[in-house]
Amino acid sequence: MIWHLSPMALYRLVCAFGRQSLVTVLTRCGLPLPTYFLADEKHSRCLTDKVYLPTIVSGRVLWHLGYTEAASAAAFAQSYGEFQRAAFQHEPSYRVRGILTDGFDSTTSSMRTLFPGARLGNCLRHAINKLPTKLTAITSPVRQALRTQFHTLLHRARQRKGLRVFGLGQRLRHFADHVATTAGTANGERVRRWFQEKKAGWYAVFEDPQMPATSTLLDQAHNAIERKLFAMKGFHHPKGSQQAFLTGLAHLYNGVCVAAEQICAAAHICSYALFRNMRSVVELEPKKSLSSAPSTAHI
């Protein structure tokens, strides 16, 4: 029990929130449709069955949180299609310019189908974390050193003002040669093939400065949602309303994030106003002259 509210009543309350579309609520609150966003899937479980939560995030706002029992491109396209149809219904001329994914095949295929004109990028943080898995039969310090060098490579490439894609391609070729020299020919070839598969998505991130580079904000949203799903038995019911429950959680998550940002903004405004008021008081207050020490001549 939460005070006088039973878990089932709380579950039904969240599901009632979930009857309203995320796109409809957010646009009525004055938020513009995102032209750049993060798309990723959360691997979760409903009882013992593996399920997937296709998600779209822009900044800290959840624009879509779906539910599917299959990891196929068709299932993901059906889930992400709900966001596409709601967005086009609100704004028929809506166009997406850039989408960042982690490179999952079903996600990239469904995004390419639903938003054919959008630039598809691959998350750079996922690439940095994925590199060590491509290196075998080497010591841990060598693997960690190569990961650090790859991180530095991507960071320096993003700092370039011009010819960023050309600079990245050249650095990737040199790094693959360095891996072959340091960790062996087999590891070098494996890393070179992996670069060949993923570099188009990395190029997309470097070509457009407005493209998000990492999916950190989306991962934070997934972690927050996952903790709530683990505690809610209603989500794990075989005949439960999982989609409505997830949408309701997304509404609550958006409300908390927007409220937190407004509180932070209000705190900054109040701090600035207090500083200005204190400064004006100090400037208006007349300066007191230093009085001389009392005379002791009469003593």
Q: Which tens digit of pLDDT belongs to each residue from 60-84?
A: 899 999 999 998 999 999 999 999 9
Of residues 69 and 218, the one with the higher pLDDT is 69
> Helix axis angle, 242-284 relative to 216-231, nearest 10°?
120
What pLDDT, in 10s, does the model give residues 143-154?
999 999 999 988
Give the pLDDT confidence score for residue 232 in this predicted structure. Answer: 63
Residue 267 pLDDT exceeds 50 = no
Amino acid at residue number 229: L
Distance CA 267, CA 287 (A): 31
Give pLDDT tens digits for 162-210: 556 667 888 899 999 999 999 999 999 999 999 999 988 898 888 888 8
- How far is 150 from 186, CA to CA, in rounded Å? 18
Which tokens belong to 256? 């908390």
Going by pLDDT thresholds of 50, 70 and 90, the confidence category of residue 296 is very low
138 and 171 in contact (C-beta within 8 Å)?
no
Per-position b or e across 81-115, b if 16+ CB within 10 A of its CB: bbbbebbeeeeeebebebbbbbbbebbbebbeebb
Helix, strand or coil, per DSSP, at residue 235: helix
Are 108 and 101 spatial neighbours (Cβ–Cβ below 8 Å)? yes
Collapsed DSSP state (helix, strand, coil) of residue 34: coil
Would the pLDDT of 51 be above 70? Answer: yes
Check if the beta carbon of residue 176 is closer than 8 Å to that of residue 188: yes
Q: Which two tokens stand for residue 69?
A: 């029992």
Question: Judging by beta carbons within 10 Å of its beta carbon (0-12, 13-18, 19+), is residue 207 exposed, middle or buried?
Answer: middle
Distance of CA 4 to the CA centre of its chain: 36
DSSP string, 101-114: E---HHHHHHHHHH
Q: What is the pLDDT of residues 24-40, one digit of tens each?
A: 999 988 899 999 999 99
Backbone angles phi, psi at 188, to 5 degrees: -65, -40
CA–CA dist 66, 151 (Å, integer): 32
CA angle 169, 170, 176 (to 5 degrees): 90
In sequence order, which ranges of the chain are alpha helices (DSSP H)? 7-17, 22-28, 73-90, 105-114, 124-130, 140-159, 164-183, 185-207, 216-231, 242-284
- Report the Cα 210 to chain-centroid distance in Å: 14
Q: SS3 of 249, please?
A: helix
CA angle 31-34-35, nearest 5°? 145
Contact call for residues 64 and 83 (beta carbons, < 8 A): yes
Q: Collapse the DSSP code of 74 into the 3-class scheme (helix H, G, I; strand E, B; otherwise coil) and give the result.
A: helix
Cβ neighbours of 155 (radius 10 Å): 11
| Per-residue pLDDT band at 18 (split at 50, 70, 90) | confident
Which amino acid belongs to residue 226? Answer: E
Confidence of residue 120 (pLDDT cuts 50, 70, 90): very high
